[in-house]
Structure 1
Amino acid sequence: MWTEQREQVAAHLLGQFHRLAEEIKASANGVSNVFLVASGGTWAGMISLKYLLDRQSPVPVYHVQAEEFLANVPPLVGRGSLVFVTSYGGTSAGIEAARHCADAGATVLGMAGDASSPLYSICQECVTIDAPIGGFLMDATALVFNLFGYTLLDALNGSNDHAPHLDVVRRSPEVIRHVREEADETARQIAENVADLDIVYLVASGPNYGVAYSGAMCLFEESLWRHASSRQAGEFFHGTLEIVTPDFPILTFIGEDETRPLSERVVRFAERFSPQSLVVDTRDLTLPGVPQDLRAVLSPALLGSIMSRIGEHLASFTGHDLLERRYMWGKEDY
């Protein structure tokens, strides 16, 4: 069920993206800054988008958690701002942030759970996920962030340099399906290895750190009620290394971007001191039809897909339904 749903969501989002693309191109000439605003899993997913834009954007890009945005509204937001807001589950902070930006004269684009969300009517353009709340959909949403980033870079720079990248992303649902099948046994083994552990540490670097962050918070904690913590690979050596022991569980996600050596360093250290070191590496994937120089483009989506499969196997091992919640979805007023 989850594999089919994930493919449907990815195809659905990619099919809508042309609306965002048209608005991006129409507003690009007047853009003086870019704000990426979200909470939870989509805030984590935007880490890869921020990384992508920072490399080539001619204007500053700010990645802000939605509640913090409202607590300390950036004075730069206004006419000339391009704001991308996501609110998958109808998060009130994201909606209020979008409303503030629109009132300030910014161009506001969005990604909402469905068309009934207030975010949908606030934004100039908004795509919708239209899937049950609770599914770990980082692979599908990562594709939207990829399309957004490459489209915006070409619009801001007046170029068509990223046409090959956009083509790879548009064709990626088939690649992701292949990856889920190819990496399924690896995902099952990882799930089996961590099923009885008290806590798991998830590590990644650069554009892939969002996979570790959302995997720990949204999948392990929120969906599986299991303790987990995420670490940026570079930060691992500024504290975490001191608590590594033979029973210390480390799950490292490695992509093929410039920050790969940071994650490889963590793996080398972990393998020396802990037999609980586990690794998911996109270099082990075949990725049919993806040129070698563009493999890194899809790393967050690919790693997110494998992370979701680990979660599905964990649900089977533990007997915990991924959609079960204690406090969310109206059960408690908080």
Structure 2
Amino acid sequence: MSKYSEMLKFKEEEYRNSAKLIGEAKPIAEEIANIVTKDGFSNIFFTAVGGSLAPLMAMGEIAKQLTELPVYVEQAAELIVRGHKALTEKSLIITLSKSGDTKETVEMAKKYKEMGIRVISCTKNLESPLAKNSNYVIPMRHENGVEYEYMLLFWLFFKILSNRGEFLDYNDFGNQLLLLPENLLEAKLQFDPQAKEMAKQYYKEPYMIWIGGGEVWGETYLFSMCLLEEMQWLKTKSVTSSEFFHGTLEIVEEDTCVFLVKGSGKTRALDDRAEKFLKKYTKKLSIIDTLDFKLNGIDEKYRWIIAPTIASTVLVDRLAFHFEDNTKHSLDIRRYYRQFDY
């Protein structure tokens, strides 16, 4: 029996097969990167909605430290109605939707493709509305592992940066990413007992605060809103570790439930500041630290980039299932989302 078999609602064979399938998309992502680099562009817009926006938020944070290229992260619904002066025919749009039928994302892609702006989408169904309204498609062939979406974005974006002479380590980094699934599998196993205890202790809390920053802010936002609010109907607030000190800290009391997701990059200093405060003023603090998990075969200098995938794998794949197990509220049940038009 595999050591992973005791993890709650985990399908090892499906996860490993998904790793193989996602790896097959590497040359596709790289070729698209080569094409758009050759054709040229003035800026990049990462845009989506909901949970799909989270990895794009991470890409935006990473870009701030690696490239002089103007990179924007936009909520697709806002981009549709408001537009953006920097979005022109010379721009490049990168979007993501696993289903390929997310209403706002499809409308955004259709609108801007028709305006002559190139759209690259990461989506599962190559016949989906999103795929049909994109110039280029990077296939999401995986059945398991939401964290694999990052790998597609990494291969695309970092290859673009490599072509621009801004990320000269791309060959090493791109190949080392193929080792990421095995590392994340070990992270799941390591965190599972902790996830079980966290969920059991806090699933009845009337209110939770979720704090994160930098490259892991997107995953903190995603887990709070998409997993706990949308899928578990639990009341939460998510706030960055920097903004926490400009409002939210005032509602922390000794019985306030707080989760802190710590990154591995430069903004970790802000996470440390929040941790120091929270340890003093609440007895219900849980810390998820991306430095706690090994990365075998992957250089430590890439850890801050990989940190969002670690946060994703332990939160979305482990902690969410343990909350579900305690609340007895299925992650698949919605009151409103996709239930009717609004």
Q: Same fold (TM over 0.5)?
A: yes
- Secondary structure of 2:28's counterpart equals helix
Superposition deviation, residue 295 in structure 1: 2.0
- In structure 2, C-alpha distance between the alignment counterparts of 1:7 and 1:257, rounded to whole Å: 28
Bigger CA drift: 314-323 or 79-88? 79-88
Identify the match of residue 87 of structure 2 among 56, 77, 90.
Answer: 77
1:141 aligns with 2:175: no
Q: What is the aligned partner in structure 1 of residue 37 from structure 2?
A: 28
Bigger CA drift: 111-120 or 267-276? 111-120
Identity %: 24
1:312 aligns with 2:321: yes
| Alpha-carbon displacement from aligned partner over 1:70-112 (angstroms, at most 9, x marks no partner) | 0111233233211101233411211121122222222210012
Identify the match of residue 289 of structure 2 among 256, 281, 294.
Answer: 281
- In structure 2, C-alpha distance between the alignment counterparts of 1:233 and 1:8, rounded to whole Å: 36
Q: What is the aligned partner in structure 2 of residue 103 from structure 1?
A: 114
Root-mean-square deviation (CA, aligned residues, Å) is 2.0
- Secondary structure of 1:157's counterpart equals coil
Identify the match of residue 260 of structure 1 among 242, 255, 268.
Answer: 268
Identify the match of residue 245 of structure 2 among 230, 237, 240.
Answer: 237
| Alpha-carbon displacement from aligned partner over 1:291-319 (angstroms, at most 9, x marks no partner) | 32222221100111111211111111111
- Secondary structure of 1:183's counterpart equals helix
- Secondary structure of 2:24's counterpart equals helix
Identify the match of residue 60 of structure 1 among 70, 73, 88.
Answer: 70
| Counterparts in 2 of 1:230 and 1:138: CA distance versus 1, 3 Å | farther
| Counterparts in 2 of 1:22 and 1:35: CA distance versus 1, 3 Å | same
TM-score normalised by L of structure 2: 0.90
Give 2:223's aligned amino acid.
G
Task: Report if aligned partners of 2:45, 2:93 keep a CA contact under 8 Å in 1.
Answer: yes
- In structure 1, C-alpha distance between the alignment counterparts of 2:142 and 2:194, rounded to whole Å: 27
Bigger CA drift: 83-92 or 221-230? 83-92
Task: Report if aligned partners of 1:83, 1:108 keep a CA contact under 8 Å in 2.
Answer: yes
Give 2:296's aligned amino acid.
P
1:166 aligns with 2:177: no
Aligned length: 330
- Secondary structure of 1:108's counterpart equals strand
- Give unpaired runs (5+ residues) of structure 2: 1-8
- Give unpaired runs (5+ residues) of structure 1: none
Q: What is the aligned partner in structure 2 of residue 94 from structure 1?
A: 105
Identify the match of residue 177 of structure 1 among 172, 185, 199.
Answer: 185
Superposition deviation, residue 158 in structure 1: 6.9
Matches within 5 A, 1:31-46: 31-46=41-56
- In structure 1, C-alpha distance between the alignment counterparts of 2:185 and 2:90, rounded to whole Å: 39
Give 2:90's aligned amino acid.
G
Task: Report if aligned partners of 1:20, 1:109 keep a CA contact under 8 Å in 2.
Answer: no
Give 2:282's aligned amino acid.
S
- In structure 1, C-alpha distance between the alignment counterparts of 2:303 and 2:199, rounded to whole Å: 25
Task: Report if aligned partners of 1:244, 1:274 keep a CA contact under 8 Å in 2.
Answer: yes
| Counterparts in 2 of 1:11 and 1:41: CA distance versus 1, 3 Å | farther
TM-score normalised by L of structure 1: 0.92
Query: Structure 1 residue runs of 4+, over 6 Å off?
Result: none
Bigger CA drift: 235-244 or 75-84? 75-84
